[in-house]
Amino acid sequence: MNFDKLIFMPFVDKEFMINFSVIMLIIVLINRKHIINRILMIILLFIISQRPIILQENEQESQYDSKLLDIIFVVDRTVSMNAIDVDNNTRLEAIKKDCNKIIETFPDSYYLLMLFDTFPNIEYPLVNEIGILKEMINNIDIVRPNNVNGVATLKAPYEELKNVLKTPKRDRNVKRIVFFMSDGEVNSSNKEDKDFSGYKDISSMIDNGMVIGYGTASGAKIKVKDTFLNNGNAISKIDENNLKTFASNLKIDYIHRINSNDIEKKLEDIKKIIENDNTDDKINIKGELYSYFTGALLVLLLLELLYYRRVEQ
């Protein structure tokens, strides 16, 4: 369904024109000659300076270009991500489902996949090969318990993520979006391992994104292959305090992922930041109105000239 919308794309700053118009109006009132004609001229000049335009839009079409997104997945692959408490499956399987949903929403975007446990690793560089990316995401597995040598902490991907964000953008209009996916668990009692303040330094390099928390407060057993870790005695719980602090430092939203619809609102918000802005080459202009006001202004100018010619005679 098509509909018209009036917008203004000023030739001259609105505040400046208001001040200028007020000064001109005062001069006209002081002069007390041909007041109506001159006030109309001032009004028309102001309208012309603000460039009124009629847009023609289509409600059925979403106007955004996902090519202008660089989406960075930072995925926790520690052992606890195999706890079964999201969608009757493991946390990692829920992450895979969410990553695929994001890819389907923004199929033309460029993606980078970073996995972390004790150390981070870039599995998929910033390119647009969706088929390969989906295959790699679907094959993500947890780090095996016997391969864990160190502390699992949300600080692990910091340096790698910082290096990625410091890389020059492929286009100046590109928006960088980060999806950080984890249960927030840190297997350390050391306070330094729960200090995520360093992420504040890279928050300005991120245009939007979300920290997504997986798991439940009551916790769940961790499944490894066909058995449960430590004969079912190991219970993993989401640590939302860590995740909320982490999101706050990155200055992006946090959500506790309960079901697959939880990320929908954020995806809609991201669409909005790349919607075509009000520039001539991006909006569908139905008509320029300032030309009509210019014609009226010329008529009034002609009357003004005839008035002065009559006075001089």
Say whether both 295 and 264 belong to one domain: no
Say whether both 51 and 76 belong to one domain: no
Residue at token pair 């992450």: 95
The pLDDT of residue 281 is: 45
Say whether both 84 and 216 belong to one domain: yes
For residue 76, list its beta bridge partners.
116
What span, in angstroms and rounded, lies between the C-alpha atoms of 143 and 76? Answer: 10
Say whether both 119 and 49 belong to one domain: no
Burial track 67-93 (b if 16+ CB lie within 10 A, e otherwise):
bbbbbbbbbbbbbbbbbbbbeeebbbb
Say whether both 143 and 195 belong to one domain: yes
Sign of the Cα torsion 214, 219, 221, 222 reads positive
Using a pLDDT cut of 90, give the percent of the chain over it: 43
pTM for the whole structure: 0.67
Say whether both 43 and 73 belong to one domain: no
Say whether both 119 and 228 belong to one domain: yes
Say whether both 175 and 289 belong to one domain: no
Say whether both 168 and 188 belong to one domain: yes
Q: Are 109 and 273 in contact (CB under 8 A)?
A: no
Say whether both 27 and 162 belong to one domain: no
Count of domains observed in the chain: 2
Sign of the Cα torsion 157, 152, 99, 125 reads positive
Say whether both 295 and 255 belong to one domain: no
Q: Are 240 and 184 in contact (CB under 8 A)?
A: yes
Helix (H) or strand (E) holding 224: strand 223-224
Domain that holds residue 28: 2-60+278-312
CATH code of 232's domain: 3.40.50.410
Q: What is the pLDDT of residues 10-67, one digit of tens each?
A: 888 888 899 999 999 999 899 887 888 889 999 999 998 888 888 765 544 445 567 8
Burial track 230-262 (b if 16+ CB lie within 10 A, e otherwise):
eeeebbbbbbbebbebbbbbbebebebbeeeeb
